[in-house]
Amino acid sequence: MKIATWNINGVKARLDTTLAWLREATPDVACLQEIKSVDEGFPREAFEELGYHVETHGQKGFNGVAILSRTPVSEVLRGLPGDDSDEQARYIEARIEPPNETRDGDARPLRVGCLYLPNGNPLGTEKFPYKLAWMQRLIAHARARLADEERFLLLGDYNVIPQPIDARNPQNWVDDALFQPESRSAFRALLGLGFTEAVRSVNTDKDVYTFWDYQAGAWQKNNGIRIDHVLMSPEATDGFEGAGIDVHVRGWEKPSDHVPVWVRLAA
């Protein structure tokens, strides 16, 4: 079972690119961020034609998250619990049913939480405290989910550079919200609940990135950062078979500035 996450940076601007990647990569579940579309404006028919069930939590012009699944979904949660006044569409969660051929066996459902964590810039504005407060809400929600002892993935654009190795030029990010000690500490606290970070569990190399800015030739110079992550609960980690990053997608025509990250679990 292949599960992927990708910040597509606008579903309408990147529809052809997204569909091309889905045909190439054939994920069973795809979690998308920054769809930048209200729910009723999301081009769901294009994804349904590829065999996906579609669930969205959208917002006009900004943010927005979606879950695509080849098998039925249930228990859809739109919005991160903990602040009823938060109107930003940054979190969607669903229970994914196992494939038909495995349902009579020992296969269990998989719960996925798709997130677009606040950027937090510029520092010195209300955006950074909002980012940190959102992370604390995420930690509280994740702790509750882990107590259920389910197969659970928490994946998406975290807007956090966890370690210096996760940036080509870490010194350029010391004044950025993505690399602040508070952001990195909250990410470590999330991991400390019992999650395994998929990519780093199989790849500890340098120059492993998921984002390259559109400016200053960042892609051509490989001046990237790693901010898109897949966290696995212990129950999901038991069936972990591998992880990867589809770096080549960044070189396609009209690319997102992010690339897909994926994991493979035993069904």
The single residue of 116, 158, 166, 228 carrying the catalytic annotation is: 116
> What distance lies between CA 192 and its chain's CA centroid?
19
Q: Decide if 116 is catalytic.
A: yes
Residue burial 223-236, b: 16+ Cβ < 10 Å; e: rest: bbbbbbbbbbbebb
H helix and E strand count, the chain: 6, 14
What is d(CA 243, CA 60) in angstroms, rounded to the nearest whole number?
32
**Strands, E, within the chain: which ranges?**
2-7, 29-33, 53-57, 65-69, 73-78, 91-96, 110-116, 152-157, 196-197, 211-212, 224-225, 228-232, 240-245, 261-265
Residue 229, marked binder: no
258 given a catalytic annotation: yes
Tell me the two tokens of residue 237. 């980690």
257 is in an annotated binding site: yes
Find out whether 87 is annotated in a ligand binding site. Answer: no
List 52, 53, 157, 166, catalytic entry? 157
- CA–CA gap between residue 162 and residue 125 (Å, rounded): 22
Q: How many CB atoms lie within 10 A of CB 130?
A: 16
Instruction: Confirm whether residue 253 is marked as ligand binding.
Output: no
Residues annotated within the binding site for Mg(2+) are 7, 34, 157, 159, 257-258
Residues annotated within the binding site are 7, 34, 157, 159, 257-258
Which active-site residues does the annotation give? 116, 157, 258
